[in-house]
Amino acid sequence: MPLALSPTAVPVVVDEAKCIADKGCTVCVDVCPLDVLRISDLTSKAYMKFDECWYCMPCETDCPTGAVTVNIPYLLR
């Protein structure tokens, strides 16, 4: 699994202003079937750690505050 260490464009984008992971929310991390989302130790917000997305969308659908956006590649739409 490739590690996303340098800032690159990943499909799952989290709006840090809306994310409430710092209050203890882990919904997106829990629902992801590929387990590629994490809560950042630096910002305490959710982010995509591994770029292995299947574009299955539960993270976006289940996020209680609507902070998660999954950018589906044009050719998959």
Partner 1 sequence: MSVFDPFEDFGDAEEIALRLADADPAVRRLAVIDLAEAASPDVLRHLLAAAGDSDASVRLQVAIALSDFGTADAAAGLAALVADADNGVARAAADSLAELKDAAAAPAVLPLATHESAFVRASAFRGLKGLRAPAALGPALAAMKDASAKVRAEALGVVAYLKREETLPSLIAATRDTDASVRAVAVNALSFTSQGAAATAVAAALDDENWQVRAAAAESLGRIGHASAIDDLTVGLADDYWQVRQKCLTALGRLKALPAVQEIAALLASDLPSLRKEAAAALGEIADPSTRDALTAHASDADPDVRKTVRWALTRIG
Q: Does 20 bind partner 1 (CB under 8 A)?
A: yes
Q: Report the SS3 class of residue 27.
A: helix
Alpha helices in the chain (DSSP H): 27-31, 58-62
CB 76 within 8 A of CB 28: no
In the structure encoding, which two tokens stand for residue 4, read together? 């996303």
**Candidate ranges 2-10, 23-31, 38-46, 47-55; the one touching partner 1 (CB under 8 A):** 23-31
Q: Does 64 bind partner 1 (CB under 8 A)?
A: yes
Task: Using the minimum distance from each CB to partner 1, give the nearer residue, 30 or 56.
Answer: 30
Site residues, partner 1 (CB under 8 A): 20, 23-25, 27, 64-65
